Structure 1
Amino acid sequence: MPHLPAPTAPHPGAAPAPAPMRSAAPGRGLKGRIGVPGDKSVSHRALMFGALAVGTTEITGLLEGEDVLRTAAAMRALGAEVERLGEGHWRVAGRGVGGLVEPADVLDMGNSGTAARLICGLLAGHPLFAVLTGDASLRRRPMRRVTEPLLATGARFTGRAGGRLPLAVEGAAEPMPLDYEVPVPSAQVKSALLLAGLCARGTTRVTEREATRDHTENMLRHFGATVRVAAEGNRRVIELEGQPELRAAPVAVPADPSSAAFPLVAALLVPGSEVTVAGVGLNPLRTGLFDTLREMGGGLSVTNARVEGGEPVGDLTASFSALRGVDVPASRAPSMIDEYPVLAVAAAFARGTSRFRGLAELRVKESDRLAATVALLAANGVRAEVEGDDLIIARDGAPAPGGGTVETHMDHRIAMSALVMGLASTRPVAVDDTGFIDTSFPGFTGLMNGLAGGPAIAAPPSGLRE
């Protein structure tokens, strides 16, 4: 039987050597048709629902980045049989709803906030004890917004100040259904509550003030659960009937739109570029970035639109474009929350003022992503302002100056956004560490260099600074 690959990240207590990189203009346009890794959100959920289903679930296109491998390892520790059959091809033999077993050791989530928060919900509905931990970045991130509503199931959580990891979880022997309105848009919180509700007798009801990505609702239906979604005024209400018998079902994971964002934005910014990313997930609750780029004048088109595994999919092509500033409403933020750093890079090359509203959620990502994005721009000669939870960038349409070194704070999206910036800036852009990019986008550097026709992204020749 093939064995699950061991995660390659170091133990949370270790301090690996930084892996600095520098990106520079490639000297020609980015060209090519590429694939990007599978959707991370769908990959996490496919493994979890496979573990909760009766029978064997076959998954194709699974993202094999560090974050998802942590989830795979956790499902195996909780009693599911998890096999890797080939590249992106996995098989999960589940234990049924309520059938997970107590893990023998600590569950290490590495850098994955999604895995940690969703697994809190998964564990809350099972009568077992478990401890979650993660790397230095994840241990700084708040978990209380997930654990506090989960207390109403009967589960108990004990962690560090602020509810941070390491976190001990005692699941409920007879979990109660929840009725909860999520105060800040968060697909992770919503999903954790629905996962806990699977094990509860009765109806779990989750209310959203703004719609967030609905992969959990789609996958619940795909595996046979009864889920109702309705509008009540300006609220979105999800109801889940508890204790279903989930049935194993094949899952084809689409290409991750959050990963596709990086080569597509780079193509919009580098003169002479035309890049196609094949098979990108086009779930309407995930396409806010693409809508925004079109509003900015970006040449972005979809071909070969289709449905795979219950999710809309298409091939996206981006070509070099003169961009203009845009005002993005707060209501769009949930559909593009992970893409704001690379969108800010696009705005740094646009003519006019861009204002991105309602970015409170960015403050609790892998880093304070709002502050890190402002610092990324400032280090490379682009002034940005924060007013409340809004980010404002005013530019004249000229290439960003570049020439700076970006502190990534162990945030893979900040690192990749900075490297995209360097491909189009007047001067190269350096990044202090890129070792954690593989957590979500394995092969990023090689893919971008393939489009560039050479090593546009490489280790700096000496030190970090020009």
Structure 2
Amino acid sequence: MSHATPLPVSPLPVSIVARGPLRGDVTLPGDKSISHRALMFASLAVGRSRIEGLLEGEDVLATAAAMRAMGATIERDSDGVWQVDGVGVGGLLQPVQALDMGNSGTSTRLLMGLVASHPITATFIGDASLSSRPMGRVIEPLTQMGADITASPGGRLPLMLRGLTPAVPVEYTLPVASAQVKSAVLLAGLNTPGITRVIEPVPTRDHSERMLAGFGAELTVEEGPDGRIISIRGEAELQPQDIQVPGDPSSAAFWLVAGSIVPGSHITIRNACMNPTRTGLLQVLRMMGADITDTSARTVGGEPVADLVVRHAPLTAIEVPADIAPSMIDEYPILFVAAACATGRTVARGAHELRVKESDRIATMAAALTAIGVSVTEHDDGLSIDGSGGARLPGGAQVASKLDHRIAMSMAVAGLVARAPICIDDANPVATSYPAFFETLDALVRATD
């Protein structure tokens, strides 16, 4: 299989030192999951959609580039509003070159679903981190629908997908809790005659269902004996929309923990998405004793939103309920940092999915925390962490981010409560989801200088 190889980027080491309390307001970047979907669905609508608050990180820009390559017109106005002229369901064009997904697993898996039911062939490539992540969980249902997929060994990128039209509608039960797999099957079903159904035994984030219904897809969600049943009628005609993207709760997570563990901190986080499938970390931090209040509850773009106020408070170790995992799967790395500062031993398990994220987040965080002097026990599905009881962490080590943005940001937060600097070997991946992270951190510290 011929493909282009993405150019390597020189590492960007960053050293973080404790600098006092964090105070001020945080304006969150747009939610990454919703931003991806807004671009994709607008590209499949007939007419012009308008998107405000889009996350302009590298992952979302990879989605925009891929949709342009398949025929959509996507432009950013000078005021930061994005205009998308869609090609209609069934109207995707053959891309001339390989689709470079960078570090974005969401882009890759959802776009595989879109291509699967269109009469085009697309080659997906990505960076070293993405190319190490298995795609078999998406390949399986899309193959059942008729797509012809040739992947690299282990079901990895580079990968070539030949879509089939008409594709075959399926009823697919998710073997693992994955919103990406669910969404990929639903998106393939958009251009498939008849009804495509996904059964999820464990509920996952429901942004695809909410937004597809908003664009006019005929979609139903009901409870069945084996879990939630999401059904979508194919050969849909999506209508253009004006979309407001709320703030990303996964980005808010870093400030929720930083505000909780750095003495004297008082942070207000504006416009955070409060979708109940995304608030697991908030629940867990409150169980640990965090002082977090939500105010100004409202609805933005069909999603519940609020402002969150976090103040420093002593945290107490807990056993994290395993059934919360799907609603906080991206937040486990920063939860591990909170646990490192709590009193007692925190046990956080039930998160097998962490093994196949941008890095093996269980092993990577275990290694990073151990390097800075935290006592950690690694399990196949999580970590047990002995907390410092609120005392500063030892620090004084270099840690490996493994090309994972959430590892880099989590260890940056750990550096705020370390006795000696923590050096992160490469902060470049932070740009995939939160380009202004370090700038925001500096502003929160400066507010108390």
Cα drift, residue 148 of structure 1: 1.2
Alpha carbons 1:12, 1:136 under 8 Å: kept: no
CA distance in 1 between partners of 2:170 and 2:325 (Å):
26
Which residue number corresponds to residue 25 of structure 1? 18
Q: Which stretch of structure 1 is more off in the superposition, 118-127 or 78-87?
A: 78-87
Which residue number corresponds to residue 462 of structure 1? none
Q: CA RMSD in A?
A: 1.4
**Corresponding residue SS for 2:11:** coil
Matched, 1:155 2:147: yes
CA distance in 1 between partners of 2:329 and 2:170 (Å):
26
Cα drift, residue 399 of structure 1: 2.4
- AA at the equivalent of 2:338: A
Which residue number corresponds to residue 331 of structure 1? 323
Cα drift, residue 454 of structure 1: 8.1
Alpha carbons 2:349, 2:379 under 8 Å: kept: no
- AA at the equivalent of 1:112: S
Which residue number corresponds to residue 131 of structure 1? 123
Which residue number corresponds to residue 30 of structure 2? 38
Deviation string 1:340-392 (CA, Å, 9 cap, x unpaired) is: 00000000000012111211100000111110011111011111112331321
CA distance in 2 between partners of 1:329 and 1:122 (Å):
35
Matched, 1:145 2:134: no
**Corresponding residue SS for 1:169:** strand
Q: Structure 2 stretches of 5 or more lacking a match?
A: none
Name which of 437, 446, 458 aligns with 2:439: 446
Which residue number corresponds to residue 95 of structure 2? 103
CA distance in 1 between partners of 2:226 and 2:448 (Å):
50
Which residue number corresponds to residue 352 of structure 2? 360
CA distance in 2 between partners of 1:185 and 1:422 (Å):
32
Q: Structure 1 stretches of 5 or more lacking a match?
A: 1-10, 457-466
Alpha carbons 1:254, 1:308 under 8 Å: kept: yes
Give the direction of change, closer, same or farther, for the CA distance of 1:87–1:432 in structure 2 (3 Å limit).
farther
Which residue number corresponds to residue 430 of structure 1? 423
- AA at the equivalent of 2:278: R
CA distance in 1 between partners of 2:5 and 2:409 (Å):
22
Count residues in correspondence. Answer: 445
Alpha carbons 1:202, 1:241 under 8 Å: kept: yes
Cα drift, residue 241 of structure 1: 1.3
Task: Map 1:59-458 to 2 at 5 A.
Answer: 59-86=51-78, 88-233=80-225, 235-397=227-389, 398-453=391-446
Which residue number corresponds to residue 6 of structure 1? none
Alpha carbons 2:6, 2:126 under 8 Å: kept: no
CA distance in 2 between partners of 1:396 and 1:103 (Å):
53
CA distance in 1 between partners of 2:137 and 2:228 (Å):
19
Cα drift, residue 226 of structure 1: 1.6
Work out the percentage of aligned pairs sharing the same amino acid: 51
**Corresponding residue SS for 1:427:** strand
Give the direction of change, closer, same or farther, for the CA distance of 1:455–1:154 in structure 2 (3 Å limit).
farther
CA distance in 2 between partners of 1:142 and 1:189 (Å):
12
CA distance in 2 between partners of 1:455 and 1:320 (Å):
14
CA distance in 2 between partners of 1:317 and 1:376 (Å):
29
Deviation string 1:314-357 (CA, Å, 9 cap, x unpaired) is: 10111101000111122111100000000000000000121112
Cα drift, residue 455 of structure 1: 12
CA distance in 2 between partners of 1:429 and 1:345 (Å):
13
Q: Which stretch of structure 1 is more off in the superposition, 227-236 or 399-408?
A: 227-236
Give the direction of change, closer, same or farther, for the CA distance of 1:292–1:149 in structure 2 (3 Å limit).
same
CA distance in 2 between partners of 1:101 and 1:66 (Å):
23
Give the direction of change, closer, same or farther, for the CA distance of 1:234–1:149 in structure 2 (3 Å limit).
closer
- AA at the equivalent of 1:38: G
TM-score, normalised to structure 1, is 0.93
- AA at the equivalent of 1:174: P
- AA at the equivalent of 2:303: E
TM-score, normalised to structure 2, is 0.97
Q: Which stretch of structure 1 is more off in the superposition, 446-455 or 277-286?
A: 446-455
